[in-house]
Amino acid sequence: MKRTPKLLYLILSLICFLNSTSLQAIRLSSGDSITDSLRKIYSKREVMIKMRDGKKLYTAIYEPKDNSEKHPTLMMRTPYSCSPYGDGFDRGFYGSLNNYIENNYIIVFQDVRGRNKSEGEFVQIRPLLKEKKSNKDIDEATDTYDTIEWLIHNTHSNQRVGTWGISYDGFYATMSASCNHPALKAVSPQAPVTDWFRGDDRHHNGAFTLLQTTNFLPRLEGKNMGRGVISNIVKNDVYTDFLKVGTFKDIDSMVNDSTETMWNNIKNHPNLDQFWKERDVRQACYNLKPAILVTGGLFDSEDCYGAWETYKAIKKQSPYTELYLAFGPWWHGAWTRRDFQAFGNIYFGNDSSKDYQDNIEYPFFRYYLEGKGEKPQNNVSVFFSGDNRWRASNQWPLTGMIPTPLYLHGNGSVSTDMPQDKSSSSKYISDMGHPVPYTANPTTYRTKEFMVDDQRFASSRPDVLTFVSEPLKDTLRLGGPIEVELKVAIEGTDADFMVKVIDVFSENFDYNNEIKDRYNISYPMSGYQLMVRGELFRGRFREGFDNPKPFKPGKVTDVNYTLYDVAHTFLPGHRIMVQIQSSWFPIIDRNPQKFIDTYNCSIEDFMMKQNIEIFHQKGAASRVILPIVK
């Protein structure tokens, strides 16, 4: 989750918007700027709305001037900024919001408590208070309730309110659903922050997200607010320079903040303790009354986990909620770009974002906020990469999903056949002095394209094991989570395990010239290794994230975990590849390969190399379990 203005993704869609028929919606006249034209049909108010504890929150309200009928309200709450303050209209106000402008929605943005122009104390991912005994007991739900109450009495409201948000703003959207205000009818958490220890932003399966968190957190709070420390580290490229920095303690000395910040809480809470448990947003996903549309991107490097897990938690914990799910082939927030068709070297087909905006998101809000149109017929709309098709259903995983084991073999193959060798294993040396990079090319920042990068660079490394199937004779479609079950032995007392499931393109695969020219794809696609899903797991948490345990050197040990959901089709002639490695740098911090506190270790602790052995034999068969659907 990058620190960007809340409407960055809408700004990115502006060019496409300018070329769309929605220009008519803001009634452009010759010579008018977009802002001038918008002012002709919308007015802006800035108010400080009083909360139950007396604190006031800055709120920007954009209201249609046509009040011939009452209007639905769509609100975003954000920790970033509602700028521009004053009478200016944010250029990102339109873009993917054009459907709502065309239909005279009241659009509301609010600085959350303690941020920018709002009063009070800012608390990162503030937990839900399930018991509130006085007006001093506040959380994001009470702030949402009090804001909605003010809005329906002080705007030309039709008494129907919706909330939405992406990433951190998506967290606030999820939390708003639990406020139980009777006017809150529809909520859309989009790539929502959900669990900062197990899967989103700050950690992946307990392992610290070094590059992303170093860039993001110091900018949001504390003495480095607005600056961060990433510019003090990266002078050449992220791989080289983070290796030079060495340890978390070295970066911590750059942050040098003794206040109560999330950065300091991370190092003070290295395991899944009560601090992280009460900040798991799934704790707020019970008995939700508004209809909910959860949206996510299949290739979102930040909060893909959060979108899947929020949907699953609501489905399980709030079974009477009218719940919808939409997933597309997007990076973080790309569904706001109407022109999205490709990124990196991968082409996904035409108009997936436009389809989402016009045929999924807007009809959802239209039905619940305007009382028009039909109730969405399909609860689940998921785009399958590979054959680039939307598939509609009323549940996820799709009906008929068959968990199918795919076993590793000593000859470097994978198949559905269980190994019969009495003794068989593959070994590699994990050296934290030379960790496996997250991408082949030097970068000065965390790219979004690494999620679809060609993995042939990793296949060539001696510290990456590669297992590959025969070319597929028929189409193979995966829809659901991938389970990883490894049998391992290590020399040390801790290790990371990174497993990737990869689509190896056929030897004659290529795009047509029109696609190559349009998206500037000159890369050799024959044999391309597309990472369908890859995730790292810190081995000490194999018996529970709240129960870290050292390995016994040389002992065969189970390491089981889940790669979050995929929706991908392997085409005939393609092959399935499984890669295994023990570092992913600097996306994830290095594991010293000792059972010690990774936030307080020294550079000498990273000097240890260790042999890692993956078994594929009878009685100790490593495998991945694929969610195969028709």
DSSP characters for 100-116?
Answer: HHHTT-EEEEEEPTTST
**Tell me, what's the pLDDT at 34?**
63
**Contact assessment for residue 591 and residue 494, using Cβ atoms and an 8 Å cutoff:** yes
Q: How far apart are CA 515 and CA 529, in angstroms?
A: 19
One-character DSSP codes across 39-83? HHHEEEEEEEEEPTTS-EEEEEEEEES--SS-EEEEEEEESS--P
Parallel/antiparallel/unpaired status of strands 71-78 and 42-50: unpaired
Q: How far apart are CA 565 and CA 323, in angstroms?
A: 18
Q: Do the domain assignments include residue 3?
A: no
Q: Residue holding tokens 């209209």? A: 89
Same domain, 345 and 379: yes
The Cβ of residue 410 has, within 10 Å, a number of other Cβ atoms equal to: 15
Same domain, 268 and 297: no
Same domain, 486 and 539: yes
- DSSP 3-state of 620: strand
**Tell me, what's the pLDDT at 599?**
96
In degrees, rounded to 5, the angle at the alpha carbon of residue 167 between the alpha carbons of residues 166 and 168 is 110
Q: Do the domain assignments include residue 343?
A: yes
Same domain, 181 and 232: no
**Contact assessment for residue 65 and residue 98, using Cβ atoms and an 8 Å cutoff:** no
Same domain, 254 and 113: no
Would you state the structure tokens that stand for residue 437, as one six-digit string?
């990079």
Q: Which helix (H) or strand (E) holds 252?
A: helix 248-255
Same domain, 499 and 427: yes
In degrees, rounded to 5, the angle at the alpha carbon of residue 539 between the alpha carbons of residues 538 and 545 is 70
Q: How far apart are CA 262 and CA 222, in angstroms?
A: 9
- The residue range of the domain holding 334 is 8-195+280-393
Q: Could you say which of 393, 427, 456 is where a domain stops?
A: 393
Would you state the structure tokens that stand for residue 422, as one six-digit string?
């009495």
Q: Do the domain assignments include residue 291?
A: yes
Residue 623 to residues 477, 558, 614, 626, Cα–Cα distance (Å)? 18, 11, 10, 9
Q: Which residues contact residue 474 at a Cβ distance below 8 angstroms, ignoring those fewer than 6 apart?
A: 572
pLDDT tens for residues 63-114?
Answer: 999 999 999 999 999 999 888 888 777 655 656 788 999 999 999 999 999 9
How many domains does the chain contain in total?
Answer: 3
Would you state the structure tokens that stand for residue 200, as one six-digit string?
């989103």
Parallel/antiparallel/unpaired status of strands 106-111 and 71-78: parallel
* CATH code for the domain of 224: 1.10.3020.10
Same domain, 446 and 485: yes
**Tell me, what's the pLDDT at 93?**
60
Q: Do the domain assignments include residue 176?
A: yes
**Contact assessment for residue 100 and residue 163, using Cβ atoms and an 8 Å cutoff:** no
**Contact assessment for residue 353 and residue 336, using Cβ atoms and an 8 Å cutoff:** yes
Q: Do the domain assignments include residue 514?
A: yes
Report the DSSP beta bridge partners of residue 620: 617
| Residue 402 phi, psi dihedral angles, 5° rounding | -115, 110
Q: Could you say which of 225, 250, 276 is where a domain stops?
A: 276
Same domain, 191 and 208: no
| Residue 188 phi, psi dihedral angles, 5° rounding | -130, 95
Q: Do the domain assignments include residue 413?
A: yes
Same domain, 492 and 621: yes
Q: Could you say which of 243, 276, 309 is where a domain stops?
A: 276
Same domain, 56 and 19: yes
Same domain, 433 and 540: yes
- DSSP 3-state of 175: helix
Would you state the structure tokens that stand for residue 302, as one six-digit string?
């930040």
**Contact assessment for residue 409 and residue 419, using Cβ atoms and an 8 Å cutoff:** yes
Same domain, 586 and 531: yes
**Tell me, what's the pLDDT at 13?**
38
Would you state the structure tokens that stand for residue 591, as one six-digit string?
């594991």
Question: N- to C-terminal Cα distance for the chain?
Answer: 34
Half-sphere exposure of 153 (CA within 13 A, CB side): 7
* CATH code for the domain of 32: 3.40.50.1820
Would you state the structure tokens that stand for residue 100, as one six-digit string?
């709502």
Mean pLDDT by 10 residues, the chain (630 residues): 44 36 39 72 95 97 95 96 81 73 95 96 95 95 98 98 97 97 98 96 96 87 83 94 94 90 95 97 96 98 97 97 98 94 93 94 98 95 97 94 98 97 97 97 94 97 98 98 98 98 96 90 95 98 98 98 98 98 98 96 95 98 97
Q: Do the domain assignments include residue 2?
A: no
pLDDT tens for residues 465-517?
Answer: 999 999 999 999 999 999 999 999 999 999 999 999 999 999 999 999 989 99
Q: Do the domain assignments include residue 451?
A: yes
- DSSP 3-state of 460: coil
Report the DSSP beta bridge partners of residue 532: none
Angle between helices 238-245 and 210-220 (to 10 degrees): 80
* CATH code for the domain of 526: 2.60.120.260
Q: Which helix (H) or strand (E) holds 394?
A: none
Nearest of 613, 615, 611, 620 to residue 492 by alpha carbon: 611
Report the DSSP beta bridge partners of residue 585: 437
**Tell me, what's the pLDDT at 227?**
78
**Contact assessment for residue 96 and residue 338, using Cβ atoms and an 8 Å cutoff:** yes
